[in-house]
Amino acid sequence: MDNILEVRDLKVHYPIRKGVFSRIAGYVKALDGVSFDLRRGETLGVVGESGSGKSTLARVITGLVKPTGGTFKLDGSVAMVFQDPLGSLNPRMTVREILREVTGEPPEKLLETVGLPVDALGRYPHEFSGGQRQRICIARAVAVKPQLLICDEAVSALDLSVRSQVLELVKKLKDDLDLSVLFITHDIGVVNYIADSVLVMNCGRIVEQGGCREVLHDPQDDYTRRLIAAVPRIRSDIRQDRESRL
């Protein structure tokens, strides 16, 4: 299986300026030497707490942030789904207008793809629930026919019941549309549910990476262990799996 994304020693350093003359006193290292591959057709989870660098990584890959150093190679087109669906949708545009901005396809088909009724086309973003708005954002993203879909905290603002529905939708679209997915989240439970492999990030660096089962069932880094310990369901799943192998 070939790679759709190859990242090598990626860095994003922001200068800290102090004093009257704004001299550089140091740097905030949002990314500090990040390297990994994303295989075509794979879902890669990127997990870490706020400030770990995971969202900066997404913005570099989509061209929103210029890296300080390192390289990345993207073999295909990319689209992104953001954390705040209401903030990323134009409140003055109907769903029909939002979708027509990015595609020549019939918007009815896109709504069907994400499980929304056709009568949603004439409505405005504020008329929908959070989960429905995120479905609209996903429809807009897949409308451009990307090979790589980046979801940046795409379910963190949703209720638990709605969250699982949106995750199922992403999994279905991955299979139906032959997508690769970079799924960014602070919740390692979400990674356990949706991803094939995982990167664990802390302070701009990757502290652990590998297959989901490998990393979650036998974490090597203390930071990964702390993330897992914060999710009781994962602890229970891991314990049951270990007992079944005894």
Q: Which two tokens stand for residue 48?
A: 């870490």
pLDDT value of residue 154: 87
Indicate if the pLDDT at residue 238 is higher than 50.
no
User: Is the full-model pTM beyond 0.85?
Assistant: yes
- Contact between 216 and 238 (Cβ < 8 Å): yes
Distance of alpha carbon 94 from alpha carbon 35, whole angstroms: 40
Instruction: Judge contact between 4 and 44, C-beta under 8 A.
Output: no
**What is 3-77+146-244's CATH number?**
3.40.50.300
When mean pLDDT is compared across 116-120, 138-142, 153-157, 177-181, the lowest value belongs to 153-157
Q: Helices (H), strands (E): how many in the chain?
A: 9, 9
Look at residues 128, 125, 166 and name the one whose alpha carbon lies nearest to residue 149. Answer: 166
How far apart CA 152 and CA 85 sit, in angstroms, is: 11
Which tokens is 59 given? 């913005």
Does the pLDDT of residue 21 top 90, yes or no? no
- CA-wise closest residue to 181 among 75, 43, 47, 46: 43
Confidence category of residue 163, pLDDT binned at 50, 70, 90: confident
Give 234's pLDDT tier (boundaries 50, 70, 90). low
Give the start-end residues of each E strand in 91-239: 148-152, 180-185, 197-202, 205-211
**138 vs 112: CA distance, rounded Å:** 12
- Kindly provide the residue ranges of all beta strands, DSSP E only, lying in the chain, ordered along the sequence: 3-18, 23-39, 43-47, 69-74, 78-81, 148-152, 180-185, 197-202, 205-211
